[in-house]
Every structure is written in structure tokens, then in C-alpha cells.
Structure 1
Amino acid sequence: MGNWEDTRGLVLARDEYKCVSCAAKVKSRDADVHHLLPRSMGGSDELSNLVTRKRGFRHAKVWVLLALGAWLSALILAS
């Protein structure tokens, strides 16, 4: 996707400067953009893999990864 700051700005705007975990309005300086699927696990910088989080909500990513793991397990078992 190009420049990270541009991508970050697009994610913040798409999410209306709200934390996806708690719906709190955040200013750009108080927001982090997180990967739903980390790059270390094959995740990309595509907008569909990025979300706005209020600083301090890193632990919320664990629930996303657990849900993804459950989905992948079901997919594997179904095939």
C-alpha cells in the first residue's frame, strides 16, 4: 500500500477516529493502527487487515487472534 502515514490516515478516517475495541473517540496522537493478522503471521498492510485502537488496547488483539484461530480450525476440519 504505499506510505505508512497515508495508510494510517486512511484507517483512522475509515474508523471515524474511534477505537474498534471501546468506541472511544481518539485523536490521531492517541490512536494506534493495529494489524488484525500480524505481519509475522502473513498479515498485510491492506486496509481490511488494519483497525484503529486507542492506545492501551493492545490486549484486545488476543481475542481477534483467538477468533481467527477458531475459524481456521473449523475451516481445516471441514475440508
Structure 2
Amino acid sequence: MQFVMIEADRLDRMERKLDAPTEALRSSTVIPAPEWCPITEAAKRKGVSTTTIGRKIALGLIEARGNGKLKEVRI
């Protein structure tokens, strides 16, 4: 293990620089991804084609709602 000496005031400055980002993280709210999304978005997220998503819907492997361009899938 290697140790490095640093001046106290420099260490204090570094700690102060970390205060704002740390506080921002503490006060942030995590927003989960939507439970339902359009087929095109689901395909992008899964890294597959929209045809594959459609096939999985037809096979009952993916739950879907809506019709046509408004069809959404549960992710």
C-alpha cells in the first residue's frame, strides 16, 4: 500500500468540493422506468427488433395492451 502526504488545507478544499455533489445525491429522487412502454422503446431497451417484440406478444411471452401504434408492452 502506498501513502501520499497532502497539506491539510488542500484536503479541506477537496472535501468542500465533494460536499455539493454528495448533498445533491442525498436529496435526489430515483424515478423508476415506466411499467408500460411503446413497442419501439421496448425493442430498443431489449436490443431486439420490433418484429421480435411482436412475435413474443403473439406467443404470449410479453403482455401487451392497446392497438396499432398505441400498443404498449409491460416491461
| TM-score between the two structures when normalised by the length of structure 2 | 0.25
Query: Which one has a bigger Cα radius of gyration?
Result: 2
